[in-house]
Amino acid sequence: MNLPIGILVARKELITKLLNKDFTAKTSMKLKILFKEISKYIDVYEEERIKLVKKYGTEIEDNITVPEHSKNWESFVAELNDVADQKVDLIYPDLTEEDLTSSNINISVRDLIDMEVFYVA
C-alpha cells in the first residue's frame, strides 16, 4: 500500500494504543507487523524534523525551537510538509475492519475510521 509519511505519523499513536488491546493472535500479528513497518518511516520523518529544527530554529532556554511567528517558520513548515508528503510503499498482511471488530474489545468509531487507510479493499 502506498501512503504519505504524514498519514503514518498521524496514525502512530492510534496503532500504539491498539497494540495494547486483546485481539486474536492473528490480528495481533498483523498489527505488530504493521507497527514495525510504519515505525521505519516515522523514524526517518523524526530524523528529518530534527534536522530542520536545527536548520531553522533558534536556541531558547537550552532548547532549539522554531517559533511559530519567526521569519523561518514558513520555510520550516514547507520543508517538513515536503517530507510528510512523500509516499512510501508499506508491506504488511491484509488488514480488514473485521480483524479489528471480531475480538471482544472496545474500539471507538473514530479509531475504526482512522484505521481505514490501512484496510485492504
The predicted model scores a pTM of: 0.83
For the chain, the three-class secondary structure string (H helix, E strand, C coil) is CEEEHHHHHHHHHHHHHHHCCCCCHHHHHHHHHHHHHHHHHHHHHHHHHHHHHHHHCEEECCEEECCCCCCCHHHHHHHHHHHHHCEEECCCCCCCHHHHHCCCCCCCHHHHHHHHHHCCC
Render pLDDT for 44-102 as a digit per residue (tens, 0 to 9).
Answer: 999 999 999 999 998 888 888 998 988 999 999 999 999 999 999 999 999 998 998 88
pLDDT confidence of residue 121: 60
Q: How many domains does the chain have?
A: 1
Parent domain of 100: 2-118
Instruction: Name the least confident of 4-18, 41-55, 103-117.
Output: 103-117
